[in-house]
Amino acid sequence: MPKYVIERDLPGAGKLTPEQLKAVSQTSCGVLSELGPSIQWVHSYVTGDKIFCIYISPNEALIREHAQKGGFPATAIHEISAIIDPATAE
């Protein structure tokens, strides 16, 4: 199943409180539950003004539907073609 990086422009994301991040996560999980098991949220990286999310999904359209239903921006969606790390150099 394809894996994607979703870039979400969210000014002030890095200043969200734990309670706010919990609320965003709960909203996301609720929409995912509604969409069914074919789309999965793996994890996200919160930075200053952006959130980068890793998702497994059969297609980009389902990710866009999740963003629309959840009220989340999906500034850019990129399909991951490979994953590398220090072990790749060995």
Report all structural domains of the chain as residue ranges with CATH numbers, in order of start: 3-82 (3.30.70.3090)
pLDDT at site 20: 96
pLDDT at site 87: 96
Task: Give the residues of the chain that fall short of pLDDT 70.
Answer: none
Separation of alpha carbons 2 and 57, rounded Å: 6
pLDDT at site 49: 97
pLDDT at site 61: 97
- Given a contact cutoff of 8 angstroms between Cβ atoms, the answer to whether 43 and 59 are in contact is no
pLDDT at site 29: 97
Beta bridge partners of 5: 54, 78
pLDDT at site 53: 98
